[in-house]
Amino acid sequence: MARIGMVNYINVAPIYEIWKEQILPDDWQVVEGQPSQLNILLAEDRIDMGFVSSYAYAARPERYQILADLSISATGPVGSVFLFSQAEPETLDGKLIRLTGQSDTSVRLVKIILEEFYRVKPRYEIGEVCGEGVRLDGVSAVLAIGDDALRLRTEGPYPVQLDLGEVWHERTGLPFVFSVCAVREAFLAEQPENARAIRKMLVECRQQGAVRMAEICDRVARRIPMDCETCSAYLMGIQHDLSPVKCQALERFFQYLIDRGEAPPSALPLKIFQ
């Protein structure tokens, strides 16, 4: 049995929509979830591999390896990881920011951007950032990701919309890797060939998805909802490879985490499973 975690946002659609069409072994089981949910399932050995927050690997590097050639990343604007604010980021010192609980990586990234790049120290709380019944009294800014961020871009009352992938790229010159496909060391020890076959299938789906992007956009745009042209522009900005420069970007992010005491020094060097 191989239990594979798959993010249920449309930013993984270029892989996942193709994956759903494949005839797969009966013992390959897919478990859908938000990145933070998959982080927990992987940490609790309830899945064997999957797309998890990059931070999930950095926090427990002794337990995992990273599958080569797979990520959820962007070089510049990512389009779905935003700090939505009533004021410019330089003015947020001491202000309350609500952070989505859906992504451990984005929570760490926004803190690095605000505290290291803009030199402000806001106050933070975790909670819901949009939707019916959500109250934001006293909140100056919210961190939203995925489909929530796509909705707030068009529906939200925020004059300042800071794309975190774009800010990171401007300050470091590097892409940002939001998610990696991590695999448990224990699973690799037991089923290395199965892990290799799954990685190969995911990479092949990624390659096919890039060719069939227009068709995929037509399938998934209505989930937000957004028009196909907007969906296409968004998905064209999402990248799913893990090139050498993406590995360099991961190393830079992990070094920030280590320096801030948010990850152990053993997060580096990266362990990549081919």
Q: Any idea which fold 2-74+176-273 has?
A: D-Maltodextrin-Binding Protein; domain 2 (3.40.190)
pLDDT of the residue at 177: 97
pLDDT of the residue at 131: 81
pLDDT of the residue at 233: 87
For 23-88, the three-class secondary structure string (H helix, E strand, C coil) is: CCCCCEEEEEECHHHHHHHHHCCCCCEEEEEHHHHHHCCCCEEEEEEEEEEECCCCCCEEEEECCC
pTM here is: 0.93
pLDDT of the residue at 241: 97
pLDDT of the residue at 200: 97
Domain-wise residue ranges, the chain: 2-74+176-273, 81-172
The yes-or-no verdict on residue 274 having pLDDT over 90 is yes
pLDDT of the residue at 8: 83
**Stretch 9-16: mean pLDDT, rounded?**
92
**Do the domains 81-172 and 2-74+176-273 match in fold?**
yes
**pLDDT tens, residue by residue, 227-261:** 888 888 888 899 999 999 999 999 999 999 999 99
- What gap in Å lies between CA 119 and CA 131, rounded to an integer? 31
pLDDT of the residue at 36: 84
- What gap in Å lies between CA 55 and CA 108, rounded to an integer? 8
Q: Which CATH number fits domain 81-172: 1.10.10.60, 3.30.505.50, 3.40.190.10, 2.170.150.20?
A: 3.40.190.10
Backbone angles phi, psi at 271, to 5 degrees: -110, 115
Before 269, cis peptide (omega within 30)? yes
Output the CA torsion 240→242→247→248 (10° steps): -70
User: What are the tokens at 253?
Assistant: 């992010």
For 126-149, the three-class secondary structure string (H helix, E strand, C coil) is: ECCCCCCCCCCCCCCEEEEEHHHH
